[in-house]
Each structure stands twice: as C-alpha cells, then as structure tokens.
Structure 1
Amino acid sequence: MNEETARSIQTIAAVGGVLATTFGLLFIYLQIRSAAKTARGQNTMSFLMGDQFRAVREAERIAAEGVFDPTDHVQLDAETVRLILNDRHLRETVKAKLNLYEAACCAIVHKALDEAMYRDFANRAVRMIYWKYYAYIETSRLETQNPTLYGEFEMIAKKWDRENSFSHHFFTKDGEVVRGKKYDDLALLPR
C-alpha cells in the first residue's frame, strides 16, 4: 500500500470516528432530553394527584366561612381583602393557596413541571384564581413592598390567558387584570 492510500484510509477513519462520536453525543443528548421530559411528566402527575391542593382548598373553605366563598366566580373586593388581612388564620390559608399556585408556576418556568400537561389540567383554574385574588395579591405586594410577589403565577396566568381561545378572558389585551366585571361578563371570544 502506498503512502497516499494510507493517508486516505486514515482520513476516512478519522472522519468516520468524528461522525460516530458526533452521532453518539447526539444520541446521548436526545436520551437526556427524553429522560428530562419523562421526569417533568412524573413530577407533574405527582403534583396534580398529591393532596396539597385538596388540603389547601379544604382549609380555605373552613377558614373563609362567613367571609367569602372560595369556590364562587367572583373577584374579591376591597372589603373582603380587608377581612382576610385582619383574620390571621384566614390570611394564612389564602397565602398557602396562592403560594401553592406560585410554586407550581415557578416549577413550570424552571421546567420542573410539564407546562402542557399542567395547562391541560388547570388552565382555567390558574387564570381564574389569579383574577379572583388579584386585589389580595396587589395589597400583599404593597404591604410587603415586593412588587414581584406571585410573579411566576402572574406570568403563567397572563401567558395562558393570551393563548386561550375557548374560555373566559381574565386579562385585557394589554395584560391588565380585568376588574369590576362578573365572571359571566368576561370576554368569551378570541381577542
């Protein structure tokens, strides 16, 4: 075998080695992505099927009795927010509920929960809970001097409202929370 043929074989072998390595790395990358997506799906199912939401809802229902109905489709007004803020137990249960939604939305933002799966399960609930408790959230932001309090919750609620075309809209086209309207009066048509 002459020197030129040997170089050609070496070149072909080197290119083949680079291609094999590249495809191997691509395969590993795709496997890691697939495993991460599977883990997000499992995290989402564990979160959704866990007892956290049920326990928080029940605690709030008991604490809110006589003040407001957590299950109705009515935005909290200033008087109701004042009553919540003045009742330590009720305030803590409302905070627990909002913190749970914030945690879920934060996990979505950081890709620990699968957004599509969670949206399929809780699209309207996320948007409506943010809308319903908006006055409380704004008051809490002012009180704590933390304008980003419940920021991930707000971001996901706005995003899903923009993408929504089959249910009530809780935000204006400009991303502001709709205030002073009854649930049944909120826009139903795509914007």
Structure 2
Amino acid sequence: MPRTILFNKPFDVLSQFTDKGTEGTSRRTLSEFIDLPGVYAAGRLDRDSEGLLVLTDDGGLQQKIAHPRNKWPKTYWVQVEGIPSDAALDLLRKGVELKDGRTRPAEVSRMEEPAALWPRVPPIRVRKSVPDCWLKITISEGRNRQVRRMTAAIGHPTLRLIRYAVGPWTLDGLLPGTWNDAPPHRIPPAPKTAAPKARRPRRKPRPSK
C-alpha cells in the first residue's frame, strides 16, 4: 500500500533528506525527523518557511501535488509588516504582476494570530514602530517564493510564513518537527485538457470541364 505522511516542517530545515549545499556547511534536513524509506516531499517548502509538507512513496500522487498544471490549492498563514488596505488585498485577489508574470487570483482574508501558533526559533525581527498583521492566503500555483513576492508587491513584506493546508490536508494536531500518516481522502483528479479538434479532410478540387 502506498504511504503518505504529513509533516510540520520547522523553520530553517530543508525540504529534502540530504544537504547538497556548499561543502563544509551543515544544514538541517528531513532526515533529522523522519526515518521512513522511500518517501519524498511532494512539492517544496522553502528553508525559511514553516508548516505542512506532504511526503509520499506514491509517484503519481507526488506528481499531482507538485505539478502546477494540477492547481492543487495551498493555504498559508502569513504575518506581514504593516496593515494592508482593502485595496491592497484586492490586488492579491485579482492577481499581481511579478517579474515572471501575473499571478492567478488568490483567496485572501485577514485573520487573528493563529490560536495554536508555536514560537519560531529564532523569533522574527520586528520594528516596534511598525505594526504587523496576519493574512490567510490560498493560491493554486507554486512559483518560487511566490507568497513572499506577492506581499512584497503590495508593499507589505512577509515576516513569517506558515503553510497550513495542501489540498484536503491541514496542520491540525501537528506540532513542529512531528509527523503522522495522512488521513484517507479522495484525491482530486488532474484537470482534463480539451482534446484537439479533428481537422476535416480537404476536398479535392473538381476537374474543370
């Protein structure tokens, strides 16, 4: 039976089992927390981000989650610098222009600091003279550092980023650095692409009389 697990990745941990970085450095990896043969991360979560990482030994599921064309929704708790206006949040909802093109429309709402939030180690750097707030952002694409670039584009840099949900799965009940088996869920199928229309054969011209 294929196995899928949910892991709450702490800050400053790579989303891989080995460190292929600069020789002589020692960065924390998944192998510090997970000792299961054959499972690999489905998609990425940056080293300086926290939260839900799905790992599986099912190659088909891994492809469904990771490939952008499948549009799996991913929800983030995002602490940003400053208090975004309604107009700024509407920009995220409509799609913002980044260097690699306009983003798809996102679901965005203000939220209170999560009740079950754990302290980050090390803590974020805040400026006492500048307020901050939390946003809940759901996107259906996975560009590099996308959420951080989106909030920066509206003038509110991200201070802390926690992935709360991937598709049907959430962080609920998971402390940082812990994992459990994913509860069974119906896996959404990949969206169908329209079949190309068959071309009609050209009629041969009639011979002139």
Indicate the structure (1 or 2) with the bigger Cα radius of gyration: 1
Q: Same fold (TM over 0.5)?
A: no
User: Could you state the TM-score of these two structures normalised by the residue count of structure 1?
Assistant: 0.22
The structure with higher relative contact order (CA 8 Å, sep 6+) is 2
More helix by share: 1
